[in-house]
């Protein structure tokens, strides 16, 4: 097995000649999966904040975020389908501009960026909620090349270290034929081998904390905290932690962003360590929580 440190270095530096590294995130393609909106809100709130880590991320990465892929379904109160009765997450292969307009537009944008030699589209993450499993976890793709498979596991492993509610043991990689029309599966085949496509799932109801057998109910705040941890994990992935200036003032107090450095965790993602506590005491400011 290839050492994780070398995998991280190779995964993060495969296309250094390209100018813009893009992370593309979508959410709420299934309108009833409302926890996905809170996770996405946590990502957005953190990325636009004045937190030193957020500033570093904005300086080095371009984030494209579509927080609601199925707005008509959300408006109507549908659980899974759009106004026209389509499960949009089964139509990525050939979306119709008439029947699936939001999906068609997003796919066109991704295809255009993928063809731009000045853009490196390195991540696609589609945020969902799961009705039967606990914790946050990911689905990824299966490839023939062993190194590509192992590189794809790097980001979920790092997120597992950062987020106490993320479970790497529940994360799985597959090529289930019934999922061929999903964003994760379609884009995994469209983009090149230096791009990584995932479905991020989070439980509708609870997660297991470290060393506990008692489920902890999710709240809006803990969903948003998972979103912040997703954003923070890109600092680890791209090795940008050393660029954070902790002395810069922020406009947000009691930052719940989980620490400046995480390297402890387990298969359930319970990686909250002493660095988290130090960070939360250290980052002070005025009203707000990021």
| Residue 104 falls inside a structural domain | yes
Q: E-strand spans in 192-266?
A: 196-203, 206-208, 215-217
- The pLDDT value given to residue 262: 34
| 183-202 confidence digits (pLDDT tens) | 999 999 999 989 999 999 99
Q: Please, are residues 244 and 235 in contact by the beta-carbon 8 Å criterion?
A: yes
- The pLDDT value given to residue 12: 57
- The pLDDT value given to residue 6: 58
Domain that holds residue 173: 4-282
| 24-70 confidence digits (pLDDT tens) | 999 999 999 999 999 999 999 999 999 999 999 999 999 999 999 99
- Tell me which range, 91-95, 173-177, 265-269, is most confidently predicted by mean pLDDT: 91-95
- The pLDDT value given to residue 247: 55
Catalytic: which of 201, 220, 258, 280? 201
- Residue from 53, 99, 91, 42 nearest 72 by CA: 99
Dihedral of CA atoms 117, 118, 121, 122 in degrees, nearest 10, equals 110
Q: What is the mean pLDDT of the chain?
A: 84
Q: Which two tokens stand for residue 39?
A: 């996770």
Please give the Cα distance from 206 to 277 (Å, whole number).
23
| Residue 260 falls inside a structural domain | yes
| Residue 188 falls inside a structural domain | yes
- The pLDDT value given to residue 178: 78
In the predicted structure, residue 234 carries a pLDDT above the cut 50: yes
Check residue 18 and give left, alpha or beta (phi > 0: left; psi -120 to 50: alpha).
Answer: beta
- The pLDDT value given to residue 177: 81
The number of domains in the chain is 1
| Residue 246 falls inside a structural domain | yes
| Residue 287 falls inside a structural domain | no
Please give the average per-residue pLDDT across 160-188, as a whole number.
Answer: 92
Which of helix, strand or coil describes residue 258?
coil
| 85-94 confidence digits (pLDDT tens) | 999 999 999 9
| Residue 290 falls inside a structural domain | no
| Residue 143 falls inside a structural domain | yes
Q: Which residues contact 279 (CB under 8 A, 6 or more apart)?
A: 255, 257, 258, 259, 260
Alpha-carbon distances, residue 70 vs 61, 99, 123, 166 (angstroms): 26, 12, 21, 25
Please give the average per-residue pLDDT across 257-269, as a whole number.
Answer: 41
pTM of the model: 0.81
- Residue from 177, 174, 192, 171 nearest 124 by CA: 192
Q: Which two tokens stand for residue 160?
A: 């597992």
Active-site annotation holds for 201: yes
| 139-150 confidence digits (pLDDT tens) | 999 988 889 889
What CATH number does the domain containing 258 carry? 3.40.630.10
Q: E-strand spans in the chain?
A: 20-27, 62-66, 119-130, 136-141, 172-174, 196-203, 206-208, 215-217
| 6-18 confidence digits (pLDDT tens) | 556 555 555 555 4
| Residue 15 falls inside a structural domain | yes
| pLDDT band, very low/low/confident/very high, at 245 (cuts 50, 70, 90) | confident
């Amino acid at each position: 097995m290839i050492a994780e440190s070398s995998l991280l270095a190779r995964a993060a530096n495969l296309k250094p000649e390209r100018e813009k590294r893009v992370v593309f995130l979508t959410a709420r393609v299934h309108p009833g999966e409302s926890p996905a909106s809170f996770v996405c809100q946590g990502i957005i709130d953190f990325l636009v904040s004045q937190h030193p880590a957020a500033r570093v991320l904005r300086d080095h990465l371009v984030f494209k975020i579509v927080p609601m892929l199925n707005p008509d379904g959300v408006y109507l109160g549908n659980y899974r389908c759009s106004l026209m009765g389509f499960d949009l997450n089964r139509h990525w292969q050939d979306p119709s501009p008439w029947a699936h307009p939001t999906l068609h537009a997003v796919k066109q944008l991704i295809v255009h960026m993928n063809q731009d030699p000045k853009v490196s589209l390195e991540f696609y993450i589609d945020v969902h909620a799961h009705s039967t499993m606990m914790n946050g976890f990911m689905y990824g793709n299966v490839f023939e090349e062993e190194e590509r498979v192992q590189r794809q596991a790097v980001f979920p492993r790092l997120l597992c270290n950062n987020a106490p509610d993320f479970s790497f043991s529940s994360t799985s990689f597959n090529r289930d034929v019934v999922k061929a029309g999903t964003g994760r599966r379609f884009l995994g085949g469209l983009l090149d081998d230096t791009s990584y496509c995932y479905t991020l799932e989070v439980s509708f109801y609870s997660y297991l904390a470290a060393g506990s057998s008692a489920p902890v109910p999710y709240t809006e705040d803990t969903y948003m905290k998972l979103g912040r941890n997703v954003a923070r994990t890109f600092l680890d992935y791209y090795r940008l932690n050393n660029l954070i200036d902790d002395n810069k003032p922020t406009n947000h107090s009691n930052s719940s962003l989980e620490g400046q450095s995480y390297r402890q965790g387990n298969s359930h993602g319970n990686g909250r360590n002493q660095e988290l506590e130090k960070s939360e005491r250290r980052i002070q400011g005025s009203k707000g929580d990021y």
